[in-house]
Amino acid sequence: MLIVITWLALMISVIGEFTYGTSVDAAQAANAREELRAHYLAESSVNLSRLLIKIQQQYVDPIQSQLSKMLSQATGGSNSGAGASSGSASAGANAASPAGLGFSLRVTDYASTLMGFFSGSKEEVAGLGSLIGLDTSRITGLGLKSGNFDAQITAEDGKIDINCGSGVASDRGKQMIVYRLLMGLMMSRRFDKLFSEADTTGNFATRTDVARAIIDWADGDEQMFSPEGGSNSEDYRYDARADHYRAHDNSYDTLEEIKMVRGVSDAFMEAFAPYLTVYASDPNCKVNLGAISNKESGDCTPLVMGVIRAAATPDPTKPPTDPTVFDDNILYPLSSILCDRASAAGFDSLNTITSLLANPQTAVLPDDPRYRIFQGMRPIQIDANQLGSLAYVGPPRVYRVAATGESGRVKKKITTIVDTGRTIENLLTLNAAAEKAAGVLQYWREE
């Protein structure tokens, strides 16, 4: 009896250990399976995003460009990229003529909906098909039995490129443009508190200090950038912190690297990171206002305000040509209207901006509740040529894709930068033409 009981106790413990180990192994195998599925679902989302970007550039952009020209000609507008002549004469001409109308259709804004045809269940696919009168019951390859994926596509060209003019052979002229844009972006009074509090090291940083430090981190010399043209040596004391490091003195690798710059805090990143990039394509540091949008829970108003203030301050060491640009009560409502227009119909040219600023009474229709506010608002005069030296209107070239794949309880996210005009440096496939046509992957991060 004792032998039998001892044997049963031993067998029960062995079987229990075996059962527990088997359960753990099964759970690990299931997690590995779901993780692999989630990874490839996210990759599928990236590939579909690149397809949507290609459709946008090859088919949608040419058509909407022609429609914008037709609308502009029908309304007597102009399609010049930087506006006509500068000064008050140009402002007066713009005030007399109607603001140009744009036509904006971005399939990338509807990436989440379009991907529902491939990532949704049969019922979801059928529901999406019914919205456009399409019977999906006989179409194969749509929907997933398990898991889902999604993507958010935004343009990087509609941001301030802090990498422009950087590197070993830095360009002071381009650095000055970046400095003006940064100062214009940070100038709003709503950010006063951000620059009036000490950081974790107990130091204070003004707007000028931060803008200068951002440029100095990425240039190849050890001379402090100064809009006045001085030549003091850089002394940001990065090696005096608890974690010693030295300035990069070369172009930024990622936008997150800016957090190592003196004066850049988490609050700074939260406020300004959505408007900064290190991947924009314009060689002259211009911001593509044809790529800005307030969709996807964004707000392009601060960026528009920054560009306008930079255009009104050709020499950052002197007062602006029109002090009204520093009045948030006037500039913010006008910039918000411009941001809404950019999101809804786009700009046909920069004349749309100069015209609205010169004649705020045309900002909204009479049935708009804000009509009375704009009727008594004084105009803002900016040099059209200065605005053209800082911004342009055109189709985007560089896109950021934030793709997610989910299977079971596992979720994968892939963030990538797709440059549709970049030269391929390191081939990933044997078909270089196909890889370039899909857009060169400039950045890839999986988490």
What are 348's two structure tokens?
């046909």
pLDDT per position as a tens digit, 75-115: 665 444 443 333 333 333 333 334 455 667 788 888 888 88
- What whole-number distance in Å separates Cα of residue 159 and Cα of residue 210? 18
| pLDDT at 314 exceeding the cut of 50 | yes
**DSSP-based three-state secondary structure for 64:** helix
Residue 319 domain flag: yes
Is residue 236 a part of any domain in this protein?
A: no
Report the half-sphere exposure of 411 (CA within 13 A, side-chain side).
Answer: 8
Find the largest Cα–Cα distance for the chain: 111
Residue entry with tokens 């929907």: 143
Confidence of residue 16 (pLDDT cuts 50, 70, 90): confident
CB of 136 closer than 8 Å to CB of 84: no
Identify the domain containing residue 56 by its residue range: 1-159+280-447
pLDDT exceeds cutoff 50 at 3: yes
Which one is predicted more confidently, 198 or 275?
A: 275
Within a domain: residue 180?
A: no
* Torsion over CA: 32, 34, 39, 44 (sign): positive
Characterize the bridge pairing of strands 148-155 and 398-407. antiparallel
Question: Three-state DSSP class for 154?
Answer: strand
Is residue 80 domain-resident?
yes
* CB of 418 closer than 8 Å to CB of 398: yes
Instruction: Examine residue 331 and state whether it is found in any structural domain, yes or no.
Output: yes
Give residue 420's identity as a one-letter amino acid code.
T
Query: Cβ atoms within 10 A of the Cβ of 131, count?
Result: 8
Let me know if residue 337 belongs to a domain: yes
Residue 274 domain flag: no
| Residue 352 vs residues 137, 334, 337: alpha-carbon distances, Å | 46, 12, 11
The string of DSSP codes covering 378-396 is PP----HHHHHHHEE----
State how far the Cα of 335 lies from the Cα of 326, in Å rounded to an integer. 13
* Residue 187 placed within a domain: no
Instruction: List the structure tokens of 180.
Output: 């003006």
Sheet holding 440-446, edge to edge: 148-155, 398-407, 410-419, 440-446
The residues, any chain, with a CB within 8 Å of residue 51's CB and separated by 6 or more, are 438
The pairing of beta strand 410-419 with beta strand 160-161: unpaired
Is-contact 323 379, C-beta < 8 A?
no
* Domain count along the chain: 1
The pLDDT tens digits of the residues spanning 204-254 come to 888 999 999 999 999 988 888 888 877 778 878 887 777 888 888 899 999
